[in-house]
Amino acid sequence: MSSLIARSIACSLLAASIVTFGPGTAGNAANAITFSPTIVARAGSSNVLYVLWESNSCTLRRCLRLERSTNGGGTFTNVSVPPVTPVLGMNTSPISQLYFANPMDGYAVQFASTGPKWTTAALFATFNGGRTWHHDQIFPNSYVYSMATSEHFIYALSDQCPTKGPKCEQVRLSRSPVTTSKWSPVSLPKQLERYWLGNLDVAAYGANVWLTTQDQTSSPFSPFLATSHDEGRSFTVRVQHDLTSVASCGLMPTSSLVLWAQCGQGMMRGDIVYSKNGGASWTANRFGQLSNFAFGAFDPVSTGAAFFVNQWHPRTLFEVASESSPPRAVGSMPNANDWISLTFTNSAFGVALSQGPGGSYPNLLWRTRDGATHWSRVTLP
């Protein structure tokens, strides 16, 4: 999910969540580790959420927590963490991406291990709701940039990283059934094959697959949208000027017809546009709230509702039905200014991830059960 959302990089209510380990568990320097929520992943269109917690003082697997909620964030239970290994020279969580197609089937991507001439990343899969994980591989020496899930398939954009050579190359689109690790190649449209992989994004819903990119090398620097209605077997490529971006727009489908797109324009600002015909045409919001969208979070919950909060009104939660309808204030937000993500499972239940006061560590996780009338902190048990 590439986006405009600002990623995770004062009173007792905002105190850090502290978990104490026994001797020999967390190292000799300290037995208390501060955990910070970093990724919230909704399992398809279900009420199930997964939240990854990390420590900035320890990158070992035992210093990670993965929590699962089956009621939209009302309560959480602990599940297993993928068998990651620390990344040399990186003081951060080894897990960079988390995707679930449904409550049971999901994937985690480990941060790339960087050598002098190549970059690779580990991939892990679970098919039992996080109880166990296993190593997976799309192809050797690969780096996964982006993934998207549908009801039947998970799609991955990745490239091949040679054991010797100047850079990773050979851009690839692959897919696997969501219930098993069985990856197969999907042919990229020829018009998109030449674009750098970090400038491509993928989204999926049902049998539809979309690819977005922005030409940054030659005039007229067109934005492209490739659309497949047959699970990636064929694509139609069109220029979509409303998807102009500094990189590629992140698409967020809520059906085969309704899509929202977050298009970054630099300096953590950009536009959010809307399509009601599967991406054939797009409209921008004429009421101003979704243009010049800055330092916020946007969450399409259903075909008829999306929630958002941004820098212009950091204490207000807005709901919008489409680009042609004016956003309306539906709730309040906790006293936090830098919002990382919103994840609602319906109009009442949702969680919000923010940075700490003044952008400090750790991040804070909030939940609401009444449509943002009231919020409470979520901490590890």
pLDDT in tens, 255-266: 999 999 988 776
Work out the average pLDDT over 77-90: 80
- Give dist(CA 175, CA 101) in Å, integer: 13
Both tokens of residue 248?
């590629």
- pLDDT for res 185: 93
How big is the CA angle at 65 (ends 94 and 70), to the nearest 5 degrees?
120
Range with the largest mean pLDDT of 55-69, 91-105, 160-174, 227-241 = 227-241
- pLDDT for res 311: 78
Band of residue 152 on the pLDDT scale cut at 50, 70, 90:
very high
- pLDDT for res 93: 65
| Beta carbons of 379 and 65 less than 8 angstroms apart | no
| Beta carbons of 263 and 270 less than 8 angstroms apart | yes
- Give dist(CA 169, CA 174) in Å, integer: 15
- pLDDT for res 117: 40
Band of residue 232 on the pLDDT scale cut at 50, 70, 90:
very high
What sign does the dihedral 35-40-41-42 (CA atoms) show?
A: positive
| Beta carbons of 35 and 26 less than 8 angstroms apart | no
Single-letter amino acid code for the residue at 223: P
- pLDDT for res 17: 33
CA distances from 116 to 144, 145, 341 (A): 19, 19, 34
Single-letter amino acid code for the residue at 52: L
More confident of the two residues 327 and 13: 327
Ordered by where they begin, the domains of the chain are 12-378 (2.130.10.120)
Mean pLDDT score of the chain: 81
Evaluate if residue 207 carries a pLDDT over 70: yes
Closest CA to 204 of 274, 273, 130, 279: 279
- pLDDT for res 8: 32
- Give dist(CA 57, CA 92) in Å, integer: 8
The total of other beta-carbon atoms located within 10 Å of residue 222's CB is: 16
- Give dist(CA 315, CA 333) in Å, integer: 5
- Give dist(CA 223, CA 247) in Å, integer: 9
- pLDDT for res 161: 67
The total of other beta-carbon atoms located within 10 Å of residue 323's CB is: 18
- Give dist(CA 213, CA 128) in Å, integer: 34
Work out the average pLDDT over 6-26: 30
Ramachandran angles phi, psi of 95, nearest 5°: -95, 125
pTM assigned to the model: 0.85
- pLDDT for res 253: 95
